[in-house]
Amino acid sequence: MAGELASIPALTRKDFVSNQDVRWCPGCGDYAILAQIQKVLPELGIPREKFVFVSGIGCSSRLPYYVNTYGLHTIHGRAPAIATGVKVANPDLAVWVITGDGDALSIGGNHLIHALRRNVDLKILLFNNRIYGLTKGQYSPTSEIGKKTKSTPHGSIDYPMHPISIALGAEATFTARTIDSDTGHLGKILTEAAHHKGSTFVEIYQNCVIFNDNAFQEVTDRDTRADNTITLEHGRPLIFGKDRNKGIRLKGMTPEVVTLGENGVTEQDLIVHDETLADSTYAFLLSRFEPPHFPVPLGVFRSIQRPTYEDMLTAQIKKAKEKKSSELKNLLYGSETWTVAE
């Protein structure tokens, strides 16, 4: 697409606003995410008609209706597979997948992990509100154990999934986490995701005001935010805290929270964030961080390059064409024919 850049008239946010009324509950975190997407898209230098937004079913999955690009609002859980078909058929398109914690991890878990491991160049945004919004409040695979919901009045007995752990277990080449309420960070991560070539997995903490309000309070509350989150920056040590005096260091394989200046701990002792590690173990380690013992990491966990599925497929086609004529006749006649005369 690079060659076309010059000819594209500059796009603006407005170009990505569709004519449909947005129908989320007032106060829903989805609004902020939509706004950031609409802000980021025009900055990418990609013609509007080359975007395709594919979603499953859920409140979050309504998003494609509101973005004025090509879009598919499909069925529950299947967006990664359908998006794979779009990308494979036309690798020139910029394909984004919008999904929820139920859509991506419950019914759609299998398609998600396979799209990731194939490294199809899809930007997968998982809106994690730790609840089923659209069906009015059942627990989801990311809901905490013991959670009381409509379908678990006695408390959930399912251990929650860690979306980034599962993505890393599935060989994802880009994993990141951000949050609806920090629009600056959200926009930044979306931009980085847009620029990654290959399967791109972004978990976005999203507040559902109706059925799971304040699920992310500990990481959004002004008072506790700084102590409960850590912003990952490539090449920088893992420092966090209101006073930026806490850090993470390793003891063998075991991470621990330390205070800078206490017991002789200095920045040199801390883990330096490296999102490019070939081995996914470090990113996996980060994906296990949870309050109260560890801060929630926000940012890019891991971003590595490897050939994408669609590029390899295209390459096979190119190579095959070089070797064999594309005459259909050769196929139809095959190797053994005989002639029946008049």
Partner 1 sequence: MAENPVLPVYKEIEEQSEATIRFCGDSGDGMQLTGSQFTQTTAIFGNDLATLPDYPAEIRAPAGSLAGVSGYQVHFSSHDIRTPGDAPDVLVAMNPAALKTNLGDLKEGGILIVNSDAFTANNLKKAGYATNPLEEGGMAKYRLHAFPITTLNTKALEGSPLTKKDVERCKNFFALGLMLWMYGRPMDVSLEWINKKFGAKPDLAEANKMALRGGYNFGETTDLVKKHYYIAKAKLPAGIYRNVTGNEATAFGFIAAAQLADKELVYASYPITPASDVLHELSRHRHLNVKTCQAEDEIAAAGMALGAAFTGAVGLTGTSGPGLALKSETVSLAIMMELPLVIINVQRGGPSTGLPTKTEQSDLLQAMYGRHGESPLAVIAPATPGDCFSMAIEAVRIAIQYMTPVIFLSDGYLGNSSEPWKVPDFDKIPKIHVEHYKDAASFLPFLRDPKTLSRPWAIPGTPGLEHRLGGIEKQENTGNVNYEPLNHEKMVLVRQAKIDGIAQSIPLLEVFGKEAGDILVIGWGGTYGAITSAVEMLQKRGIAISCIHLRYLNPFPSNLKKILDNFDTHIVAELNLGQLASILRGRFGVDIQSITKVQGKPFKTDELIEGIFKIARSRGEPKWQENSLASPH
- Single out the residue of 80, 102, 198, 247 in contact with ligand TPP (rule: CB under 6 A): 102
Rounded CA-CA distance 244/261 in Å is: 11
Instruction: Output 220 or 303, the one with its CB closest to ligand TPP.
Output: 220
Question: Under a CB-based contact definition with an 8 Å cutoff, are residues 247 and 232 in contact?
Answer: no
Enclosing H/E stretch for 332: helix 328-333
- Single out the residue of 59, 97, 204, 238 in contact with ligand SF4 (rule: CB under 6 A): 59
* Angle CA 172–177–180, to nearest 5: 140
Per CB under 6 A, 180 contacts ligand TPP: no
- Applying CB under 6 A, which part among 25-33, 221-229, 253-261, 311-319 lies near ligand SF4? 25-33
Token duo for residue 225: 């935010």
Q: Which entry of partner 1, Mg ion, ligand SF4, none binds 30, CB below 5 to 8 A by partner kind?
A: ligand SF4
* Angle CA 242–180–210, to nearest 5: 110
SS3 336: coil
Unique residue bearing structure tokens 């978990």: 203
Report DSSP letters for 203-222, one per residue. EEE--BTTTBTTTTHHHHSH
Site residues for a copy of itself, window 215-254 (CB under 8 A)? 250, 252-254
Provide the strand spans (E) within 266-325. 296-303
Per CB under 6 A, 57 contacts ligand TPP: yes
* Angle CA 33–39–43, to nearest 5: 135
Q: Residue 29: what are its φ and ψ, rounded to 5°?
A: -65, -20
Q: Which entry of partner 1, ligand SF4, a copy of itself, none binds 264, CB below 5 to 8 A by partner kind?
A: none
Q: Which entry of partner 1, a copy of itself, Mg ion, none binds 101, CB below 5 to 8 A by partner kind?
A: Mg ion
- Single out the residue of 34, 78, 119, 280 in contact with partner 1 (rule: CB under 8 A): 78
Determine whether 311 is exposed, middle or buried from the number of CB atoms within 10 Å of its CB (0-12, 13-18, 19+): middle
Q: Which entry of ligand TPP, a copy of itself, Mg ion, none binds 134, CB below 5 to 8 A by partner kind?
A: ligand TPP
- Applying CB under 8 A, which part among 51-59, 78-86, 90-98, 100-108 lies near a copy of itself? 100-108
Question: Under a CB-based contact definition with an 8 Å cutoff, are residues 249 and 271 in contact?
Answer: yes
Q: Binding residues for a copy of itself, per CB under 8 A?
A: 106-110, 113-114, 117-119, 141, 154-155, 157-162, 165-171, 250, 252-255, 271, 277, 279-282, 284-285, 288, 306, 309, 312-313, 316, 319-320
Q: Binding residues for ligand TPP, per CB under 6 A?
A: 57-60, 76, 100-103, 127, 129, 131-135, 140
Q: Binding residues for ligand SF4, per CB under 6 A?
A: 24-25, 28, 30, 59, 129, 133, 208-211
